[in-house]
Structure 1
Amino acid sequence: MRHLFRLAAGGISLLLCSALASAAPAITVLGKDFTFPNKIEGLPAKLSDFKDLQINHFTTSDGVKLAYWEAGKGKPLVFIPGWSANGAEYLNVMYLLSKQYHVVVLDPRNQGLSQHVDYGSRISRFAADLKELNEHLGLKKADYCGWSMGASVLWSYIDLYGTKSINKVVFIDEPPSIYSHADWTEKERQDAGAITSDAERMIDSFTSGKAPNKMIVDSQAFQRFTLMDSPYFQNSENFAQAVVKNNIDDLKRVMFDHVTNDWRDVISKRVDVPTAIFTGVYSDSLTGQRWIHSVIPNSELHVYSAKEQGDHFLAFKNPFKFTADLDNFLNKP
């Protein structure tokens, strides 16, 4: 959901060989270095300081060339960005985690550095793309983290393929159902985390720059983004804007499918691996995040405070805390 904000402001061994053969340093792929606006201790001052970062590609079964950002060695940890988002925004998160993990961030089709096409714009196809990335990398099992729409992609992945390839899973601030049905009680709406009762008008507001009223979309994500109240966030967003050029028409195609899916049955019945949920006091669907925690046995819920940048962009606004909390969860027995 970030393009509007920007407008306003044989087998496994062969697969691994193929992945290595196509590996390229990020600075080579992008063709230039990048100096971040804020110098922050413990994070790169320039893109070239992140020497381990690569941008690689693979081609899906339906012929789409997808990009993925990759760094580090160790246990595999795969990130799926939200709508309109991309690996460039994960640079700080990747830098911190790559010291202990093999970190991969997939640019979904029509996003980031991946190919733009006029087909496959469904959450189920995005889930298939994730499965094919796993196959390309030869990942039998990994930890996964989905932010915003990326969590929906993971729910679809679990619905279609189960959890046998998932070690642990993390969901960051995605409503179980964005769309509120007319016959729902207020409790059902809040538990689902729903923020709109008009999918078409919500999509129009998120893709045109028109500020909606709360009767159409009850969201403070726009305001939270435009605050740009974190030097970490300023760095990653400036970098993303410099290297990625989104096309709103391409991005728009997946939105209706995304908005109208209801994942409550998958969340409550199919998620059977260790789970962490991250959200914050400024979340549009805090009650929905608490509902997810209540229906997944032994799950963890992390609610970031105002001082901890507890909004939809918490992982990017507070990467040191987020990566520390994530690492602690992933390393629990």
Structure 2
Amino acid sequence: MRTTILGVVCALALGLATAQAHAEPALQVLGSNFIFPNRIKGLPAKLSEFTDLQINRFVTNDGVGLSYWEAGQGRPVIFIPGWSANGAEYVNVMYLLSPHYRVIVLDPRNQGFSERVPYGSRIERFSMDLKELVDHLGLQQVDLCGWSMGASVIWGYIDLFGTQGIRKACFADEPISIYSHDDWSEQERLEAGGTTTSAERMVAGMTRGEPLNSLVTDLKPWARFQLKDSPAFLNSEAFAEAFIKNDPEAIGRVLFDHVTNDWRDVIRHRIDVPVAIFSGEESNNLPSQRWAAAVIPNATLYSYSSAEQGDHFLMFKNPIKFTDDLRGFLER
């Protein structure tokens, strides 16, 4: 999940998209360079240093223009962002991985530079969008990595299409079922990662600013986001805020469906490829990630310490460690 409304862009008019692929250098699409606020060894100081970053697009079978960020060559790795997130936030992750892989980040419908539409706001449609991206790129085999709601999109993909064509998968800190059923034991709640018994109040709080408390949703991601304790995270957030604006109503359409899905059957029965699961001791999702790692055959859990930024935003707060660990998993 994300906790900010991101800054504005007018450079991309995807409502006029055609069915043909459209690829442009990121600097050309964005219309200007960007200087990152913190200089960090091994990461770009300005966007122009990321010379092969592109922002591309295609059109789905229901007529929606979707953008995807792309860089590098080699074996393809597709990232699916979490709720309200976008490819701009992956700039450090892409920069670190693109010398080794063809790295692709999909902007889900109603997010990032993808088109805003009043339909298709269900995880299963997001999963179909992912399938259409894979087909559009002509990929026979791919590694998939989903953060937060992006992991749910992969679970929906596997539920619909199986694992054929998936070489390996990565899930980062996504509860198995955000909605906590009132007849669950505490152990069942922890294993599923349930944090709310009122999807309506959770959605209202996250999209309309209505009051939230720990009985409505997990507040720790908000607290960890506000720490501003990672220069790399501040860089990627500043970049996203400079160029992208979310529409709260548009991103809110998928949230109820996202909250009420229960993926325990997919986790337990449908995943038969090697899996990496990322979480940490500063995430209340960690018990559910341990459960998933225990029931998925050939799964590896990467649990980051507090000092390693082991919270919901670990891949953005600690991109060097995350990409090192992900590469180790992908190359194993």
Q: Could you say whether these structures have the same fold, taking a TM-score greater than 0.5 normalized by the shorter chain as the test? A: yes
The 1:152/1:162 distance shift into structure 2, 3 A limit, reads same
| 1:35 to partner: Cα distance | 0.5
- Match of 1:78? 78
| 1:4 to partner: Cα distance | 4.5
Deviates more, 1:216-225 or 1:75-84: 216-225
Q: Is the Cα–Cα contact under 8 Å of residues 6 and 242 in structure 2 kept in the other structure?
A: no
Letter of the 2:125 partner, please give it: R
| 1:284 to partner: Cα distance | 2.1
- TM alignment of 1:1-333, pairs within 5 A: 1-4=1-4, 22-332=22-332
| Secondary structure of the corresponding residue to residue 23 of structure 1 | strand
Distance across 2 between alignment mates of 1:197 and 1:6 = 28
The 1:34/1:272 distance shift into structure 2, 3 A limit, reads same
| 1:3 to partner: Cα distance | 4.0
Distance across 2 between alignment mates of 1:80 and 1:124 = 14
Gaps of 5+ in 1: 8-17
| 1:218 to partner: Cα distance | 3.0
Letter of the 1:126 partner, please give it: F
Length-normalised TM-score, structure 1: 0.94
Letter of the 1:114 partner, please give it: S
Distance across 2 between alignment mates of 1:151 and 1:42 = 28
Letter of the 2:218 partner, please give it: D
Gaps of 5+ in 2: 8-17
Distance across 1 between alignment mates of 2:111 and 2:193 = 25
CA deviations over 1:235-280 (Å, ceiling 9, x no partner): 0000000010000000110000000000000011000000010001
Deviates more, 1:99-108 or 1:194-203: 194-203
CA deviations over 1:256-307 (Å, ceiling 9, x no partner): 0000000000011000000010001111211100000010012100000000
Deviates more, 1:166-175 or 1:219-228: 219-228
Length-normalised TM-score, structure 2: 0.94
| 1:314 to partner: Cα distance | 0.1
Q: Is the Cα–Cα contact under 8 Å of residues 3 and 248 in structure 1 kept in the other structure?
A: no
CA deviations over 1:68-110 (Å, ceiling 9, x no partner): 0000001000000000000000000000000000000000000
| Secondary structure of the corresponding residue to residue 111 of structure 2 | coil
| 1:208 to partner: Cα distance | 2.5
| 1:5 to partner: Cα distance | 7.1
Distance across 2 between alignment mates of 1:209 and 1:309 = 27
| 1:210 to partner: Cα distance | 3.9
Distance across 2 between alignment mates of 1:24 and 1:184 = 50
Distance across 1 between alignment mates of 2:250 and 2:212 = 22
Q: Is the Cα–Cα contact under 8 Å of residues 5 and 222 in structure 1 kept in the other structure?
A: no
Deviates more, 1:294-303 or 1:204-213: 204-213
| 1:170 to partner: Cα distance | 0.3
The 1:321/1:20 distance shift into structure 2, 3 A limit, reads farther
The 1:186/1:62 distance shift into structure 2, 3 A limit, reads same
Distance across 2 between alignment mates of 1:99 and 1:20 = 27
